[in-house]
A and B are shown apart, each in its own frame.
Chain A
Amino acid sequence: MKSRTNRLAIAVVALATAAALGGCTAGAGAEQSQGSGTTTLKFWSWNDMSAATEAWNKANPHIKVEFEKLASEQDYFSKVSAAVTSGKNAPDVVQVDYTNLPSNVVAGLVQDISKYTGDVKKSFSAANWNQVEVGSGVYGIPQDTAPLVLYYRKDIFEQDGLSAPKTWAEYEKAAAVIKANQPNSYISSFASNGAAWFAALCQQSGAQWYKVNASSWSVNIDDPKCKAVADYWQGMLDKQYVKGDQNWQPAWFKRFADGTYVSWIGPAWGTAALKTNAPDLSGKWAVAQLPSWKAGENTSAFWGGSALAVTKSSANAADAVKFITWLNTSSQAQKLLNNELGIFPSAKNGSSLRAFTSPDPYFSGQKLGPIFAAASSGKASQWTWGPTETDTEGALNDGFASAINGTTKLDDVLEKAQQQTVAAMKQKGLKVK
C-alpha cells in the first residue's frame, strides 16, 4: 500500500510538472489559414460585436471572422492565457483593456504589430495612440476611449450664480457655494472604487506612474504631482464638498436622480448612466470640459477604454490587423458599435458620428461630439499602465475606502500603493528602479 501511494504521488507530480512545463512553451503551431486564400480569424470579446462582425464578413469573403462573446472580463484573461499558451482553439483577435495591455504583453499573450500599423497611426490622436504603445512596440489598435468630462446640473449652477468651472480652483469654489445653498447636496461623490478614475486625474496633472526603461520599470505612484491631486481631493473630503460613496451601485444612481450630486467627473460613455437612472432630469444637465489645473490649459484625462490586439499564437497577423483597422476606424463599424454599446470611438473620425453630432436633449441640446473630441485631444502625460495593475487598483480602492472612513489620508494611500506595487513587481522578478 505504501509503495502504491508513493508511485501514485510521483505520477501525479510528474503529470502536473509536464502540464506546467508544456503549457509554457510559447504558442507554436497555432491556427493556420484554411488554404485557397480564405483566412479564418477567431475574435473574442466581452462586448457584443456580432453585428459589426457580420457586416465585415459580408463585405470580405476572403477573411472570415468568427466572433465569440465571453461572459465577462474576469475570465477573459485566463481563457486567453490558457488558449494562447496551449495553442489550442486560440483566438486571433482579442479585446484588451488599456489597463491590462502591459500585463498581457508581460504574459506573452499579444504580439507586436508595429510593422502592419504604419498608416493606421495617423487616424488617432497622439494621446490615444499612446495607449497601445508598450515599451518600443505597438500591441493593439485603440477601439474606444473614455476622456473625462464634467457633467453638471446646469439648472442648479445657474440658480447659484455659477458657470461651468474651468479650473480645479474654480471647482472647489463652486463646491463651497453649492454646499452653502444646498446643505444636503454635494458637488460630486468621491469613489471608494475610483482607482482608475483617480489614475486618469493623475495623468491630467502630468504625473507618470509607470515608465518602461531599457531593462527595468520605474514606478512613481507617489509622484508629487499625483500627491497634489490627492491633497486636493482630501481637502474636498474634509470640507464635505464631496461625499465618499461607492460608485455604480443603486444608491449612487439614486443620488443623481434626487439632486444629492450636482455634478459628475465622468467618462464620455457615462451619458447612458445619467439618462437611464435620472430620466426626469432631462434638459437640466450639461457637459463641459474637465477642469484643468492652470487656466486656459487644454488637458485630457482618460478613464479606461480598450483596444483590439492580435494574440501571440496567431499566424494571421496581417489579416487580423486589416480587420481590426476596419472595425476601429471605419464609420460603418463605429456606428454599429456605438449603437450596440454606446462607446466613443478613439479614432479621430469617431466624433463625427450622428450620435454625437445631433443635439442631445438630455444635455440642454448640446452636441456632444465636439466636446468629447476636444476632451480627448488635450495634453496628457504619456501614460503607461503597470504589469500588476489589478493589484495596484485593489490597494488604491481599499485605501480610498479607509480615507472616506477617516482612518487614513489620501497621501498615505498613494505611498502605500507605491510600496505594494514595487513589492509585487519585484516578487514577479521584474527589475524596478
Chain B
Amino acid sequence: MATSLLTPETKRVRRRGVAQDWRYAWIFLAPFLLLFLVFRIVPVAFAIGQSLFKQTSSGTGFSAATVDFAGLSNYARALTDPTLLTAAGRVLLYGVVQVPVMLVLALAMALLFDSGMVRLKRALQMFSFLPYAVPGVIGSILWAFLYVPGISPIVNALQTLHLPSDFLSPHAVLWSIANVTTWQWTGYNMIIIFSALQALPRDIFEAAKLDGAGGWQVAMRIKVPLVFPAIVLTALFSIIGTFQLFSEPMVLKTLTGNVTYNYTPNMFVYNLAFGTNDSHYAAAVSVVIAVATFLLSLGLLRLLQRGTEND
C-alpha cells in the first residue's frame, strides 16, 4: 500500500514507534483504568469475596451472628433457587423479544435519518431522544397515566371500543414494561448508530448510487455492514440492561401487584441486599446473573459474527 514511504529512515522511526507503542497505550489507558479499578473492580471483588461467606445467627438471633466461610454453597443455592429461576426465565423471554424489536427500530430510524429522506430530521431526533432525558423518578407517574384504567385516556378509549385494554394484567404487564424500556432507550441507541453512520465517507454511497443501487440496497448492503460494530455495541449493552432490569419493573410495581416482589433477578438481588439483609447470598446471585449475561453476550456475538461472515 504505502511501500514508497518505507525509506530506511522511516523504517527506523517506525520501529521505534512500535517499541514505544505499548507504553503510550498504558498511559492513555491509565486515568480510566485507575478509576475503573478503584470504583468498579474493587467493589466487584469485594462482592465476589462476600459471596463465599455466610452469616448465621442462632437461637433468637439477638446475640452476635457468626460469619463463616461457605465455599460455593451460596452458588449451589442460587442455581437451584426457584425464585431466581423463574425471574431469569422471565427476563430471558423479555430479552428475546424486546432487544431485537428495539434495535431494529433504532437502526431503521438511524438509516432513515442518514438517508436524508425524512424531513424535520432534527425535530424527530429530538423527540426520540426526549424519553431518555426524562428522569426515571417520574416514570411511574407518567406511565400510570397511560396504563391505568380510569385515568388513562388511551385505556378509556380502548375500553369504549371494546378492545383489550388491560396493560397491567399478569400476562400483559411484562410487555408493558418492555414498552417502557423501548420507549426510553430507542432514541439513545438510534443516536449511537446514527453518529456512526454520519462518520462514514459519502463517496462510497455516491459510487453505489451511480452504479444503480437503490436506497434500500445501499442501506442494507453497505451502510449496515459498515456500522456493524456500533450495532453490536448497542446489542451488547441492551442485553446487559435486560439482565439487570430493575427500575422499570420497580416503577410499574407501584401501580399493580402483578409485578411481584422478585419479578426480575436484579429485584431479587435488591431485596436480598436491602430487605432480608442477606448480602452474602445477594452477592452470589449477582455473580450468577453476571456470568449468565456474559455467556449469553458471547453467544450472541459469535452468532452475529457468523451471520456477517455468511453474507
Contact = CB atoms under 8 A, between A and B. Distances in A.
- Direct contact between A and B judged by beta carbons closer than 8 A: yes
Interface of A: 12-13, 15-17, 19-21, 24, 26, 74-75, 77-78, 81, 103, 105-108, 134-135, 137, 192-193, 212-217, 246, 248-251, 254-255, 387-388, 390-391, 394-395, 397-398, 400-401, 404-405, 424, 428-431
Contacts of A390: 271, 275-276
Contacts of A255: 150
Contact of A20 (B50, B57, B62, B276): B50
Contacts of B115: none
A428 B49 CA distance: 19
Contacts of B150: 251, 254-255
Contacts of B140: 249
B275 A249 contact: no
Given A75-B274, A405-B170, A15 B45 contact: yes
Nearest to B277: A107
Contact of B62 (A105, A192, A248): A105
B114 interface: no
A12 B56 CA distance: 24
Interface stretch (B26-34, B89-97, B99-107, B254-262): B254-262
A246 B50 contact: no
B308 interface: no
Interface of B: 45-46, 48-50, 52-53, 55-62, 64-65, 67, 140-141, 144-145, 148-151, 170, 254-258, 260-262, 271, 273-279
B60 A401 contact: no
Contact of B57 (A81, A250, A429): A429
B261 A395 contact: yes
Nearest to B57: A429
Q: Which of A107, A248, A400 has the most CB of B within 10 A?
A: A107
Contacts of B149: 251
A405 B276 contact: no
Given A16-B45, A106-B61, A192 B148 contact: no
A323 to B, nearest CB: 25
B194 to A, nearest CB: 36
A390 B59 CA distance: 20
25 contacts: A16-B49, A16-B52, A17-B52, A19-B46, A20-B53, A81-B277, A106-B60, A106-B61, A107-B277, A192-B258, A216-B59, A246-B256, A250-B144, A250-B145, A251-B144, A390-B271, A390-B276, A394-B261, A398-B260, A398-B261, A401-B256, A401-B260, A424-B276, A429-B57, A430-B61
Contacts of A254: 150-151
Contacts of B277: 77-78, 81, 103, 107
A216 B276 contact: no
A106 B62 contact: yes
A124 to B, nearest CB: 23
Contacts of B59: 215-216, 430-431
Contacts of A26: 64
A74 B274 contact: yes
Contact of A404 (B50, B57, B65, B257): B257
A249 B144 contact: yes
Contacts of A404: 257
Given A15-B49, A394-B275, A212 B257 contact: no
A231 B254 CA distance: 26
A134 B62 CA distance: 9
